[in-house]
Amino acid sequence: GENVEQHPSTLSVQEGDSAVIKCTYSDSASNYFPWYKQELGKRPQLIIDIRSNVGEKKDQRIAVTLNKTAKHFSLHITETQPEDSAVYFCAAPILTGGGNKLTFGTGTQLKVEL
Amino acid sequence: DADVTQTPRNRITKTGKRIMLECSQTKGHDRMYWYRQDPGLGLQLIYYSFDVKDINKGEISDGYSVSRQAQAKFSLSLESAIPNQTALYFCATSDPPGGTIDDEQYFGPGTRLTVT
Protein backbone atom coordinates (compact mmCIF):
# COMPACT_ATOMS: atom_id res chain seq x y z
CA GLY A 1 0.00 0.00 0.00
CA GLU A 2 0.89 3.66 -0.02
CA ASN A 3 3.31 4.53 2.76
CA VAL A 4 6.14 6.73 4.00
CA GLU A 5 9.41 5.20 5.18
CA GLN A 6 11.72 7.10 7.51
CA HIS A 7 15.36 6.43 8.45
CA PRO A 8 17.15 6.21 10.79
CA SER A 9 14.91 5.36 13.72
CA THR A 10 17.49 6.74 16.16
CA LEU A 11 20.28 9.23 15.60
CA SER A 12 22.90 10.44 18.03
CA VAL A 13 25.15 13.39 17.21
CA GLN A 14 27.59 15.61 19.04
CA GLU A 15 26.55 19.18 19.72
CA GLY A 16 27.53 21.34 16.76
CA ASP A 17 27.44 18.50 14.24
CA SER A 18 24.85 18.14 11.50
CA ALA A 19 21.96 15.67 11.47
CA VAL A 20 20.17 14.28 8.44
CA ILE A 21 16.93 12.32 8.43
CA LYS A 22 15.57 10.77 5.24
CA CYS A 23 12.12 9.75 4.08
CA THR A 24 10.81 8.02 0.99
CA TYR A 25 7.23 8.01 -0.21
CA SER A 26 5.32 5.85 -2.66
CA ASP A 27 2.54 8.07 -4.05
CA SER A 28 3.97 9.95 -7.02
CA ALA A 29 1.05 12.40 -6.79
CA SER A 30 2.15 13.62 -3.35
CA ASN A 31 3.00 17.32 -3.45
CA TYR A 32 3.36 18.48 0.15
CA PHE A 33 6.06 17.28 2.57
CA PRO A 34 6.06 18.51 6.17
CA TRP A 35 8.38 17.76 9.06
CA TYR A 36 7.14 17.71 12.64
CA LYS A 37 9.10 17.86 15.88
CA GLN A 38 7.78 16.22 19.03
CA GLU A 39 9.52 16.97 22.29
CA LEU A 40 9.14 14.53 25.16
CA GLY A 41 5.60 14.65 26.53
CA LYS A 42 4.51 17.31 24.06
CA ARG A 43 2.41 17.47 20.93
CA PRO A 44 3.93 17.31 17.41
CA GLN A 45 4.58 20.73 15.90
CA LEU A 46 5.43 21.69 12.35
CA ILE A 47 9.00 22.91 11.93
CA ILE A 48 9.30 23.14 8.15
CA ASP A 49 7.47 22.01 5.03
CA ILE A 50 8.07 21.99 1.31
CA ARG A 51 5.81 21.82 -1.71
CA SER A 52 6.69 19.97 -4.87
CA ASN A 53 7.35 23.08 -6.93
CA VAL A 54 10.69 23.65 -5.15
CA GLY A 55 13.67 21.42 -4.45
CA GLU A 56 14.95 22.98 -1.23
CA LYS A 57 13.75 25.22 1.56
CA LYS A 58 15.73 26.67 4.46
CA ASP A 59 14.80 28.24 7.77
CA GLN A 60 17.81 29.20 9.86
CA ARG A 61 19.49 25.95 10.95
CA ILE A 62 16.99 23.60 9.35
CA ALA A 63 16.47 22.77 5.70
CA VAL A 64 14.45 20.29 3.70
CA THR A 65 15.41 18.91 0.28
CA LEU A 66 13.08 17.14 -2.12
CA ASN A 67 13.85 14.79 -5.01
CA LYS A 68 10.54 14.08 -6.73
CA THR A 69 12.10 11.78 -9.32
CA ALA A 70 13.49 9.50 -6.63
CA LYS A 71 10.50 10.14 -4.33
CA HIS A 72 12.52 11.06 -1.29
CA PHE A 73 12.97 14.09 0.92
CA SER A 74 15.34 14.87 3.77
CA LEU A 75 15.57 17.06 6.86
CA HIS A 76 18.93 18.70 7.55
CA ILE A 77 19.76 20.28 10.89
CA THR A 78 23.07 22.13 11.12
CA GLU A 79 24.96 23.24 14.23
CA THR A 80 22.84 20.98 16.39
CA GLN A 81 22.03 22.06 19.93
CA PRO A 82 20.72 20.11 22.96
CA GLU A 83 17.25 21.60 22.44
CA ASP A 84 17.12 19.87 19.04
CA SER A 85 16.80 16.55 20.91
CA ALA A 86 13.32 15.24 20.09
CA VAL A 87 11.44 12.85 17.84
CA TYR A 88 11.09 14.05 14.25
CA PHE A 89 8.35 12.85 11.89
CA CYS A 90 8.14 13.28 8.16
CA ALA A 91 4.82 13.04 6.34
CA ALA A 92 3.35 13.00 2.85
CA PRO A 93 -0.25 13.18 1.61
CA ILE A 94 -1.66 10.04 0.10
CA LEU A 95 -4.41 10.93 -2.35
CA THR A 96 -7.45 8.65 -2.15
CA GLY A 97 -11.03 8.68 -3.38
CA GLY A 98 -12.12 9.70 0.10
CA GLY A 99 -9.86 12.71 0.14
CA ASN A 100 -6.33 13.54 1.01
CA LYS A 101 -4.74 11.70 3.96
CA LEU A 102 -1.46 12.73 5.56
CA THR A 103 0.66 9.64 6.21
CA PHE A 104 3.44 9.93 8.78
CA GLY A 105 6.77 8.16 8.94
CA THR A 106 7.59 6.12 12.05
CA GLY A 107 9.79 8.84 13.54
CA THR A 108 13.47 9.46 14.29
CA GLN A 109 14.65 9.90 17.86
CA LEU A 110 17.41 12.52 17.67
CA LYS A 111 19.74 12.89 20.60
CA VAL A 112 22.23 15.74 20.68
CA GLU A 113 25.03 14.98 23.10
CA LEU A 114 27.15 17.58 24.85
CA ASP B 1 -1.41 25.17 20.94
CA ALA B 2 -4.26 26.21 23.27
CA ASP B 3 -6.55 26.58 20.26
CA VAL B 4 -6.96 22.79 20.09
CA THR B 5 -8.00 21.14 23.34
CA GLN B 6 -8.64 17.53 24.28
CA THR B 7 -10.49 16.00 27.21
CA PRO B 8 -9.71 14.01 29.20
CA ARG B 9 -5.90 14.29 29.25
CA ASN B 10 -5.49 10.96 30.95
CA ARG B 11 -7.89 8.07 31.32
CA ILE B 12 -7.70 4.58 32.72
CA THR B 13 -10.56 2.29 31.82
CA LYS B 14 -11.37 -1.41 31.88
CA THR B 15 -11.76 -3.86 29.04
CA GLY B 16 -15.23 -3.76 27.51
CA LYS B 17 -16.08 -0.24 28.64
CA ARG B 18 -17.25 2.44 26.22
CA ILE B 19 -15.19 5.60 26.29
CA MET B 20 -15.34 8.92 24.48
CA LEU B 21 -12.45 11.27 23.84
CA GLU B 22 -13.37 14.83 22.97
CA CYS B 23 -11.64 17.45 20.86
CA SER B 24 -12.53 21.12 20.54
CA GLN B 25 -10.92 23.85 18.47
CA THR B 26 -11.25 27.60 18.28
CA LYS B 27 -9.19 27.97 15.11
CA GLY B 28 -12.22 27.93 12.82
CA HIS B 29 -10.75 25.08 10.79
CA ASP B 30 -12.95 22.79 8.73
CA ARG B 31 -10.65 19.77 8.77
CA MET B 32 -10.22 17.64 11.88
CA TYR B 33 -8.35 14.40 12.48
CA TRP B 34 -7.85 11.71 15.11
CA TYR B 35 -4.48 9.97 15.37
CA ARG B 36 -3.12 7.23 17.55
CA GLN B 37 0.53 7.17 18.61
CA ASP B 38 2.31 4.02 19.72
CA PRO B 39 6.07 3.85 20.43
CA GLY B 40 7.99 3.13 17.23
CA LEU B 41 4.91 3.35 15.03
CA GLY B 42 4.57 7.06 14.51
CA LEU B 43 1.15 8.64 14.11
CA GLN B 44 -1.56 6.50 12.60
CA LEU B 45 -4.73 8.09 11.26
CA ILE B 46 -7.96 6.73 12.76
CA TYR B 47 -10.63 9.00 11.25
CA TYR B 48 -10.76 12.38 9.57
CA SER B 49 -13.43 14.90 8.68
CA PHE B 50 -13.19 17.66 6.09
CA ASP B 51 -16.41 19.35 7.20
CA VAL B 52 -19.39 18.72 9.47
CA LYS B 53 -21.08 16.42 6.96
CA ASP B 54 -17.95 14.55 5.95
CA ILE B 55 -16.45 11.56 7.85
CA ASN B 56 -13.74 9.29 6.46
CA LYS B 57 -11.98 6.21 7.77
CA GLY B 58 -8.24 6.30 8.21
CA GLU B 59 -5.69 3.51 8.38
CA ILE B 60 -6.86 1.94 11.66
CA SER B 61 -10.58 2.69 12.11
CA ASP B 62 -11.64 -0.76 13.35
CA GLY B 63 -12.90 -0.59 16.93
CA TYR B 64 -13.38 3.19 16.77
CA SER B 65 -16.17 5.55 15.76
CA VAL B 66 -16.39 9.33 15.53
CA SER B 67 -18.92 12.12 15.66
CA ARG B 68 -18.53 15.61 14.21
CA GLN B 69 -21.01 17.53 16.32
CA ALA B 70 -20.07 20.95 14.96
CA GLN B 71 -17.25 22.59 13.07
CA ALA B 72 -15.43 23.00 16.37
CA LYS B 73 -16.00 19.56 17.89
CA PHE B 74 -14.86 16.09 16.85
CA SER B 75 -15.26 13.15 19.24
CA LEU B 76 -13.67 9.71 19.13
CA SER B 77 -15.39 6.72 20.73
CA LEU B 78 -14.13 3.29 21.64
CA GLU B 79 -17.28 1.18 21.70
CA SER B 80 -15.76 -1.67 23.71
CA ALA B 81 -12.24 -0.87 24.83
CA ILE B 82 -9.53 -3.54 24.65
CA PRO B 83 -5.98 -3.48 26.07
CA ASN B 84 -4.27 -3.06 22.67
CA GLN B 85 -6.06 0.29 22.34
CA THR B 86 -3.79 1.59 25.08
CA ALA B 87 -2.01 4.49 23.40
CA LEU B 88 -1.62 8.25 23.14
CA TYR B 89 -4.39 9.83 21.09
CA PHE B 90 -4.05 13.15 19.29
CA CYS B 91 -6.65 15.34 17.68
CA ALA B 92 -5.52 17.74 14.95
CA THR B 93 -6.99 20.43 12.72
CA SER B 94 -5.99 22.02 9.44
CA ASP B 95 -7.30 24.61 7.02
CA PRO B 96 -5.51 24.45 3.69
CA PRO B 97 -5.56 27.69 1.69
CA GLY B 98 -7.72 27.61 -1.41
CA GLY B 99 -6.12 25.67 -4.24
CA THR B 100 -3.76 23.62 -2.05
CA ILE B 101 -4.31 20.06 -1.00
CA ASP B 102 -2.80 20.19 2.43
CA ASP B 103 -1.17 22.46 4.95
CA GLU B 104 0.06 22.56 8.55
CA GLN B 105 -1.83 20.41 11.04
CA TYR B 106 -2.28 21.77 14.56
CA PHE B 107 -2.29 19.10 17.23
CA GLY B 108 -4.03 19.04 20.57
CA PRO B 109 -2.13 18.13 23.74
CA GLY B 110 -3.03 14.45 23.53
CA THR B 111 -5.02 12.00 25.64
CA ARG B 112 -3.16 9.14 27.27
CA LEU B 113 -5.54 6.17 27.42
CA THR B 114 -4.84 2.99 29.34
CA VAL B 115 -7.14 -0.01 29.00
CA THR B 116 -6.67 -2.64 31.72
Which of the four pLDDT bands, split at 50, 70 and 90, describes residue B96? confident
Quote the CA–CA distance of A97 and B79 in Å, as a whole number: 27
The arithmetic mean of pLDDT across residues A70-96, rounded, is 93
Q: Does B42 touch chain A (CB under 8 A)?
A: yes
For residues B2-36, b (16+ Cβ closer than 10 Å) or e, as one string? eebebeeeebebeeeeebebbbbbeeebebbbbbb
Q: Any CB–CB contact under 8 A between B100 and chain A?
A: yes
Phi and psi at residue A42, in whole multiples of 5°? -115, 175
Helix (H, G, I), strand (E, B) or coil at A84: helix
> CB of B104 within 8 Å of any CB in chain A?
yes
Given a contact cutoff of 8 angstroms between Cβ atoms, the answer to whether B71 and B51 are in contact is yes
pLDDT at A49 over 60: yes
Contact B43 A49 (CB under 8 A): no
Which residues does B90 contact at the CB level (< 8 Å), separation at least 6?
A: A43, A44, B6, B34, B35, B36, B37, B43, B107, B108, B110, B111
CA–CA separation, B102 vs A51, rounded Å? 10
The confidence score (pLDDT) of residue A1 equals: 52
The nearest CA of chain B is from the CA of A44 a distance in Å of 6
**Model pLDDT for residues B17-46, shown as the tens digit of each residue:** 999 999 999 999 999 999 999 987 789 999
Q: Region B67-77: what's the mean pLDDT?
A: 96
| pLDDT over threshold 70, residue A73 | yes
* Rounded Cα distance, B108 and B92, in Å: 6
Residue-wise DSSP of A4-29: EEEE-SEEEEETTS-EEEEEEES-TT
Residue A42 clears pLDDT 80, i.e. is over it: yes
- Which pLDDT does position A97 carry in this prediction? 60
Distance CA A89, CA A37 (A): 6
Nearest Cα residue to A36 out of A88, A99, A100, A102: A88
Those residues whose C-beta lies under 8 Å from the C-beta of residue A97, and which sit 6 or more positions away, are: none
- Looking at the partner chain, which of B40, B54, B110 has a beta carbon nearest the beta carbon of A43? B110
pLDDT at A82: 96
How far is C-alpha A14 from the geometric centre of its chain's CA atoms? 20
Which of B66 and A28 is assigned the larger pLDDT? B66
What pLDDT, on a 0 to 100 scale, did the predictor assign at position A53?
Answer: 82
| B70 contacts chain A (CB < 8 A) | no
